[in-house]
Amino acid sequence: MKTHSIKFNFIMNALLTLSSVIFPIITFPYISRVLGVRGSGDVAAALSTVSYFTMFASLGVPTYGIRACARVRDDKAKLSQTVQELLIINAVTTAVIYMIFFGCLAVVPKFNGQKELLMVVSISIILNTMGMQWLYNALEQYSYITVCSLSFKVLGIILMFAMIHSPDDYLKYGAISAISSYGSGIMNFINMRKYVSLKKTEFYDFKRHMKPLFTFFFMSAATSIYLNLDMVMLWLMKTNWDTGIYNAAIKIKTVLVNLVTSLGTVLLPRMSFYIEKGEQEAFKNTVTKAFRFVTVAATGMMIFFMIFAKESILILSGDAFLPAILPMQLLMITLLLIGLSNITGMQILTPMGQEDKVLKSIVAGAVVDFTLNLVLIPRYASTGAAFATVMAETIVVIVQFIYLRDILKGLLKNIQFFKIIAALILGSAGAILLKVNMNFDGSSTSIRLVIMAAEAIVFFALYGGSLLLMKEPLIMEMKDMGINMLKRKK
Could you read off the pLDDT of 238-273 as tens digits, one per residue? 877 888 888 888 877 877 887 777 655 555 555 555
Percent of the chain exceeding pLDDT 90 equals 19
277-290 per-residue burial string, b: 16 or more CB within 10 A, e: under 16: eeeeeebbebbbbb
Percent of the chain exceeding pLDDT 70 equals 87
Reported for 272-278, long-range contacts at CB under 8 A and 24+ positions apart, including other chains, are 272/66, 272/67, 272/70, 272/71, 272/350, 272/351, 273/70, 273/71, 274/351, 275/351, 275/352, 275/353, 276/70, 276/71
Which pTM value belongs to this model? 0.69
Confidence of residue 459 (pLDDT cuts 50, 70, 90): very high
CB of 174 within 8 A of CB of 117? Answer: yes
Confidence of residue 484 (pLDDT cuts 50, 70, 90): low
Distance in angstroms (rounded) separating the CA atoms of residues 356 and 354: 5
Closest of 21, 168, 51 to residue 118, by C-alpha: 51
Report how far apart, in Å, the C-alpha atoms of 342 and of each of 16, 290, 320 are: 18, 10, 34
| Structure confidence at residue 453 (pLDDT) | 87
Q: What is the mean pLDDT of residues 131-152?
A: 84
Q: Which residues contact 67 (CB under 8 A, 6 or more apart)?
A: 138, 268, 269, 272, 350, 351
Closest of 376, 370, 413 to residue 395, by C-alpha: 370
> Worst-scoring range by mean pLDDT, 22-26, 234-238, 266-270, 344-348?
266-270
Distance in angstroms (rounded) separating the CA atoms of residues 13 and 348: 20
CB of 45 within 8 A of CB of 231? Answer: yes
- Amino acid at site 455: E
Three-state helix/strand/coil letters over 231-276: HHHHHHHCCHHHHHHHHHHHHHHHHHHHHHCHHHHHHHHHHHHHHH
Confidence of residue 40 (pLDDT cuts 50, 70, 90): confident
Report how far apart, in Å, the C-alpha atoms of 317 and of each of 158, 252, 358 are: 20, 10, 36
Average pLDDT, the chain: 82
How many other CB atoms are there within 10 angstroms of residue 76's CB atom? 13
> Worst-scoring range by mean pLDDT, 167-181, 184-198, 276-290?
276-290
Q: Which residues contact 483 (CB under 8 A, 6 or more apart)?
A: none
Reported for 111-120, long-range contacts at CB under 8 A and 24+ positions apart, including other chains, are 111/49, 114/42, 114/45, 114/46, 116/171, 117/42, 117/43, 117/46, 117/170, 117/171, 117/174, 118/46, 118/49, 118/50, 120/171, 120/174, 120/175, 120/178
Q: What is the mean pLDDT of residues 190-207?
A: 83
pLDDT digits (tens, 9 = 90+) for 51-90: 888 888 888 888 788 888 888 887 888 888 888 999 999 9
> Worst-scoring range by mean pLDDT, 90-104, 219-233, 383-397?
219-233
Q: Which residues contact 33 (CB under 8 A, 6 or more apart)?
A: 318
Distance in angstroms (rounded) separating the CA atoms of residues 411 and 7: 21
Q: What is the mean pLDDT of residues 391-400?
A: 93
| Structure confidence at residue 334 (pLDDT) | 92
Element (H, E) at 304: helix 280-307
Burial of 127 (0-12, 13-18, 19+ CB in 10 A): buried
Report helix angle 309-316 to 240-260, nearest 10: 110
Over 80: is that where the pLDDT of 20 sits?
Answer: no
Higher pLDDT, 350 or 310: 310
Helix (H, G, I), strand (E, B) or coil at 416: coil
> Worst-scoring range by mean pLDDT, 167-181, 322-336, 402-416?
402-416
Q: What is the mean pLDDT of residues 461-466?
A: 91
Domain ranges of the chain: 6-192+203-415
Over 70: is that where the pLDDT of 325 sits?
Answer: yes
How many other CB atoms are there within 10 angstroms of residue 340's CB atom? 21
